[in-house]
């Protein structure tokens, strides 16, 4: 798995997904719907589902060999996978030592020259598990309601869309993938950034001996 995560071709695919994420984020970030047009609301729910699917394919890219083997073992072809919820859930099971963390854009330089990455508070962002829940919620918006069961889910989703969009931007604009490779006594950190409108997404890869731990 360490080879997959540090593989430049896999990381290139990750960046390709980020390019698409960037475009769709820009689209939903312009959300204005004072008339509460349900077609506009549903369109944005669809775009958010696609965003989560793009995140899932990004993560699949840096676990390609392991994920492919996992799907073969259950008689499936990973190239046919599309469900963002299922892909993320599978990857979290395959690699519980991978951490997806939104980060601040700028890092601070310590006295010894070390670059310190500042992680964003989880309350301002989505974890992978919360993205899975958001994916399912958007799926519910896209289905026609049973005529014998009335709800206000469309109206509630519209009311929450501005904060959902802010959290998605906080989560995806700058984020890091941290991985402990316990067997090799090594760790990997990859910093991704979407960059400004006219600059393509980029990443920075760091490798280190030993393993990291989160402090509270």
pLDDT of the residue at 171: 97
Distance, CA of 214 to CA of 216 (rounded, Å): 7
Distance, CA of 214 to CA of 18 (rounded, Å): 26
Q: How large is the average pLDDT for residues 100-116? A: 76
Distance, CA of 209 to CA of 140 (rounded, Å): 45
Instruction: Please say if the pLDDT value at position 52 is more than 70.
Output: yes
pLDDT tens digits along 115-126: 678 899 999 999
Question: Which DSSP helix (H) or strand (E) runs through 192?
Answer: strand 186-193
Distance, CA of 101 to CA of 126 (rounded, Å): 9
pLDDT of the residue at 107: 67
DSSP assignment letter at 47: H
Higher pLDDT, 165 or 3: 165
pLDDT tens digits along 73-82: 999 999 999 9
Question: Which DSSP helix (H) or strand (E) runs through 205?
Answer: strand 202-209
Instruction: Please say if the pLDDT value at position 110 is more than 70.
Output: no
Q: How large is the average pLDDT for residues 142-148? A: 89
Distance, CA of 213 to CA of 179 (rounded, Å): 10
Q: Residue 109 — pLDDT band, cuts 50, 70, 90?
A: low
Percent of the chain with pLDDT over 70: 94
- Calculate ∠ Cα 82-133-17, nearest 5°: 40
Q: Residue 163 — pLDDT band, cuts 50, 70, 90?
A: very high
Distance, CA of 99 to CA of 101 (rounded, Å): 6
Q: Residue 151 — pLDDT band, cuts 50, 70, 90?
A: confident
pTM of the model: 0.92
Lowest mean pLDDT among 26-30, 116-120, 171-175: 116-120
CA distances to 41, 55, 61, 203, 206 from 12, rounded to whole Å, are 33, 14, 9, 9, 16
pLDDT of the residue at 113: 63
Instruction: Please say if the pLDDT value at position 205 is more than 80.
Output: yes
Burial classification of residue 9, based on how many CB atoms lie within 10 Å of its CB (0-12 exposed, 13-18 middle, 19 or more buried): exposed
Higher pLDDT, 58 or 146: 58
CA distances to 13, 47, 58, 67, 170 from 72, rounded to whole Å, are 21, 30, 20, 9, 35
């Amino acid at each position: 798995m360490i080879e997959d995560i540090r593989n430049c071709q896999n990381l290139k695919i990750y960046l390709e997904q980020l390019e698409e994420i960037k475009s769709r984020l820009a689209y939903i970030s312009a959300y204005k719907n004072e008339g509460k047009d349900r077609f506009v609301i549903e369109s944005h729910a669809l775009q958010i589902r696609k965003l989560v699917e793009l995140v899932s394919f990004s993560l699949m890219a840096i676990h390609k060999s392991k994920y492919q083997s996992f799907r073969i073992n259950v008689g499936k072809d990973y190239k046919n996978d599309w469900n963002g919820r299922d892909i993320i859930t599978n990857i979290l099971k395959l690699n519980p030592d991978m951490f997806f963390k939104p980060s601040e854009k700028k890092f601070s330089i310590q006295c010894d020259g070390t670059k310190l990455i500042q992680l964003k508070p989880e309350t301002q962002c989505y974890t992978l598990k919360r993205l899975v829940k958001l994916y399912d919620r958007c799926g519910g918006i896209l289905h026609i309601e049973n005529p014998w069961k009335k709800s206000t889910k469309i109206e509630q989703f519209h009311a929450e869309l501005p904060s959902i969009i802010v959290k998605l931007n906080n989560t995806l604009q700058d984020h890091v993938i941290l991985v402990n490779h316990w067997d090799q006594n090594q760790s990997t950190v990859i910093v991704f950034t979407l960059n400004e409108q006219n600059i393509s997404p980029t990443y920075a890869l760091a490798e280190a001996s030993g393993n990291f731990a989160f402090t509270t």
